[in-house]
Amino acid sequence: MSPVIPALSVSQETPPASFDWLFSQLFIMADLSLLPELPLNINDDVLELNKDLERIIEDVENISVQLTWMAYDLVALRTSPELGAAMEKLEEAYPRCFAVVCGDQKQEPEMDMCPDSTATTPTQM
């Protein structure tokens, strides 16, 4: 004798079952032990994810600032080519000035590099 499967009783007055209703019935009949359990430390995971996202956003903002300055420098150099030469002179002069102001004994300033060495001697300042 074959097992008897109970049929769903649907009266003639009720409309046919919708997909949502069928899905809910299947979900109820499913073995709940097969469903994955949510981890108990989900708050820790969310906090860690938020920290990672904040760090990534900060990195992207820093990259954006660097790109903006690069674009500004590019426009400035294209509109005024002599600006590049002036910047190189400033970059070369900075270590010498830093050595004089901070008293760095390792690096003595070279007075012959100055255009007017008589006006820049320490005794005349």
pLDDT under 50 in the chain at which residues?
A: 5-14, 114, 117-121, 124-125
Q: How many domains does the chain have?
A: 2
Q: What is the pLDDT of residue 106?
A: 61
Is residue 73 assigned to a domain?
yes
Structure tokens at 4: 């008897």
Is residue 98 assigned to a domain?
yes
State the burial class of residue 116 (Cβ atoms within 10 Å of its Cβ: 0-12, 13-18, 19+).
Answer: exposed
User: Which residues have C-beta within 8 Å of that of residue 97, sequence separation ≥ 6?
Assistant: 109
Query: Are residues 87 and 70 both part of a single domain?
Result: no
Is residue 52 assigned to a domain?
yes
Query: Are residues 90 and 69 both part of a single domain?
Result: no
Q: What is the pLDDT of residue 103?
A: 79
Is residue 61 assigned to a domain?
yes
In the chain, % helix, strand, coil (3-state, to 5) comes to: 65, 0, 35
Query: Are residues 73 and 91 both part of a single domain?
Result: no
Is residue 121 assigned to a domain?
no
Range of the domain at 61: 44-79
Q: What is the pLDDT of residue 124?
A: 46
Q: What is the pLDDT of residue 44?
A: 84
Query: Are residues 94 and 104 both part of a single domain?
Result: yes
